[in-house]
A and B are shown apart, each in its own frame.
Chain A
Amino acid sequence: MKILVIEDDTQTRNYVVTGLKEAGHTVDSAKDGCEGLLLAQDSLYDLLIVDRMLPGLDGLSLVKKIRSFGCSVSVLFLTTMCGIDDRVEGLNAGADDYLVKPFAFSELDARVNALLRRPRETVAQNVLQVGELEIDRMKRSVRRNGVLIDLQPTEFRLIEYLVRHADQVVTRTMLLENVWDFHFDPKTNIVETHISRLRSKLNVGDRTDLIQTVRGSGYMLRETI
């Protein structure tokens, strides 16, 4: 996948670019807003990673410009602006995700993968099938090998998110934001406890664990075990 990183801080830029290259992406980079805008217009990228405070043209204006040209490339803001309204402002400008610095590379990697896979989701599928698991979004039912599993609403949202991002690492923060709509960092391990409940319901009868814990990053639902 082809990614453009627009970031003025050399150290952060190198860190991100190197990491993404190691993860197997083709990466270009720009060190200010104007250069970034030119590159983004010239070539076709799958994803833009944009800092908000950039020299030349700030990140917010850059994304608004790109969107005004009718460009639908995925955009992730990577920024130190962690104000309560900053995130909403960024997403309203047309970004698809918002990650606050400092961040763990695993978090960025997981979000990048989620964004790159996004086009698949746009097809409104009511029934999702991943390996042994089948989810009906209309009936809100989950079956494993055809056996109905009784889940609480939160547990259903959790498994639905994991299924939609099957074979991708999903971080704790991503789950908090997307399943619970919590935009703060709780001390209590609410993700862990809910995942553990979900696991016990999915794996009734000592079956193989569908949800894999990725150490230091998050969780992953494997399509094939």
Chain B
Amino acid sequence: MKLSSLVSTTGFKLSALYLGLFLCSFLAIGTTVYLLTTHSLEQQLRNNLESEIARLKTEYKSGGLPELIDEINEVIDSKSNHALEYGVLNQNGQLIAGSLSQFKLAEGWQILKLNRPINKTANEKALFLVRIIALPNHIWLGVGHDSGNINDAGEAIIQAFLWGFGLVIVLGIMGGIYISHAFLTKIDRITQSTQAIIAGDLSHRLTVSKNQDELDNLAFLLNRMLDKMGTLIANVQQVSNDIAHDLRTPVSRLKFRLEAALMSNLSEEQYKEQIASAITEADTILETFSALLRISQIESQSRRSGFKMINLSDIVIAVVDALNPAAEEQGKIIAFDIEQACELYGDKELMTQLVFNLLENAIVHTPEHSGITVNLRAFDDWVELIIADHGPGITEAQRQKVFQRFYRLEQSRTRPGNGLGLSIVAAIVDLHNGKIVLSDNYPGLKAVLNFRKKTDQFTSV
């Protein structure tokens, strides 16, 4: 993993941004601490000087100049408060007592650069804060103190913050690299999986860790998308396989028929007959095509966008009504018990076809002079449709196979039909998130269909 790729990751950029923000606030805090500390130290110093001045002023007032000089000398000698420097000047600026002499004759605060009183040998200059007042009889009194320790404290604070600053930068960059490295590792895994899929392994899926972070969520969603696409691709492959295999037979049959007609010597009437039957054969093939396309369209589930509340009772009644005369003509009776206003969320056209295909199948398979029953019931949140006949039924082993495309119970395929009727039924049931169960009707076949009435099941899909 190159450093440049690390630096360009979102993780690193975000870390750098946070680091910048953090350093800015760090700087602000440092400045505030520095200013507050130095200010408070200076204030303390000023208070000290003010109280010393006030004390000396009282001395001067009670005992005059000699008392003041005595007091100052006493303090200097005792060295009890050795950090303080004193100076008493006359009106000409000449030093009468103490050692401070360079201040200007003006009341207030002054900052002077003086030798440090403690180690005068080093001849070290230091800044002094000096308070000056004018005493009666043109005497000037100044008391000063080395302000160097305020600067020392400030410097210490700055130094501490500079160290912290450096530490934060180092840790921030390291953290950024760590985060982006972890991020890049995950992205790399996704990239590798994607490349495997591009290379042709359509069953490959992205790894989803247990962390449940946003990348895992993304990977999970991508996996679901891949699943969906896999189904669609399988669907398309299935259709092309079906076309390739199952349409070859009828197309070759058509070809043989036409070739036979061409080679034989027939009358005009017979030729017409041959052509008519060839057209019928071609129509069957085209119908199969349409049915296959229809199944794959239903299976693609794009039709769900057009779902609305439909009245299944009306649909079942319409289908029974449409097929009833045909059934009666064959001596078959449709007995129905349909609950009114069974509603569900779905597609009217497809539901009509579903009911039609099932009932048509039942009519075809039930023997003459026997009955077919159609029941529609609504329950709390689902509806149940049962269509049962008294035909030969379907053995248990074959019950799932009948939903496969082109699967026909009689292998000779002599009866009309393309073996797609129940595949369409299965696709429509699936589209509506329903369930179809085939069971024994003793004798015959009983198809039980369940559909949920609710709509929310589709929003989550």
CA distance A41 to B133 in the complex (A): 109
Q: Are A197 and B325 in contact (CB under 8 A)?
A: yes
CA distance A185 to B417 in the complex (A): 12
CA distance A185 to B322 in the complex (A): 13
* B-contact 0/1 string along A86-102, CB 8 Å cutoff: 00000000000000101
- Say if the beta carbon of A145 comes within 8 Å of chain B: no
- The tally of CB-CB contacts under 8 A between chains A and B is 57
CA distance A100 to B297 in the complex (A): 17
- Say if the beta carbon of A117 comes within 8 Å of chain B: no
B329 interface neighbour in A152, A184, A193, Cβ under 8 Å = A193
Instruction: List 13 A-B pairs, Cβ < 8 Å.
Output: A84-B297, A84-B298, A84-B350, A85-B303, A100-B290, A154-B321, A182-B322, A183-B349, A184-B353, A186-B360, A187-B417, A188-B360, A193-B325
* A-contact 0/1 string along B348-365, CB 8 Å cutoff: 011011001000100110
Q: Are A84 and B323 in contact (CB under 8 A)?
A: no
For the complex formed, measure the closest distance between the CB of A134 and the CB atoms of chain B, giving whole angstroms. Answer: 25
For the complex of A and B, list the 3 residue pairs with the smallest distance between their C-beta atoms, beginning with the closest. Answer: A193-B325, A193-B326, A188-B326
* A-contact 0/1 string along B321-357, CB 8 Å cutoff: 1110110010000000000000000000110110010
Q: Are B286 and A187 in contact (CB under 8 A)?
A: no
- Say if the beta carbon of A83 comes within 8 Å of chain B: yes
- Which residue of A has the minimal Cβ distance to B321? A154
Question: B322, B350, B352 — which one has the most chain A CB atoms within 10 A of its CB?
Answer: B322
Question: A102, A182, A196 — which one has the most chain B CB atoms within 10 A of its CB?
Answer: A182
- Say if the beta carbon of B28 comes within 8 Å of chain A: no
User: Which residues of B have CB within 8 Å of A153?
Assistant: 321
For the complex formed, measure the closest distance between the CB of A219 and the CB atoms of chain B, giving whole angstroms. Answer: 16
User: Which residues of A have CB within 8 Å of B294?
Assistant: 84, 184
User: Which residues of B have CB within 8 Å of A186?
Assistant: 356, 360
A83 interface neighbour in B297, B360, B364, Cβ under 8 Å = B297
User: Which residues of A have CB within 8 Å of B200?
Assistant: none
Q: Are B325 and A190 in contact (CB under 8 A)?
A: yes
Interface residues of B in 274-302 (CB under 8 A from A): 286-287, 290, 293-294, 297-298, 302
CA distance A102 to B349 in the complex (A): 22
Q: Are A102 and B286 in contact (CB under 8 A)?
A: yes
A190 interface neighbour in B287, B306, B326, B353, Cβ under 8 Å = B326
User: Which residues of A have CB within 8 Å of B306?
Assistant: 85
For the complex formed, measure the closest distance between the CB of B318 and the CB atoms of chain A, giving whole angstroms. Answer: 7
Taking A82-B290, A183-B349 as contacts, is the C-beta distance between A188 and B363 under 8 angstroms? yes
- Say if the beta carbon of A194 comes within 8 Å of chain B: yes
CA distance A159 to B356 in the complex (A): 23
CA distance A25 to B277 in the complex (A): 31
Q: Are A180 and B326 in contact (CB under 8 A)?
A: no
User: Which residues of B have CB within 8 Å of A189?
Assistant: 326
Q: Are A82 and B322 in contact (CB under 8 A)?
A: no
Q: Are A194 and B325 in contact (CB under 8 A)?
A: yes
Q: Are A185 and B287 in contact (CB under 8 A)?
A: yes
Interface residues of A in 138-185 (CB under 8 A from B): 152-154, 180-185
User: Which residues of A have CB within 8 Å of B353?
Assistant: 182, 184
CA distance A196 to B417 in the complex (A): 24
Taking A188-B323, A190-B326, A193-B325 as contacts, is the C-beta distance between A84 and B349 under 8 angstroms? yes
User: Which residues of B have CB within 8 Å of A183?
Assistant: 349
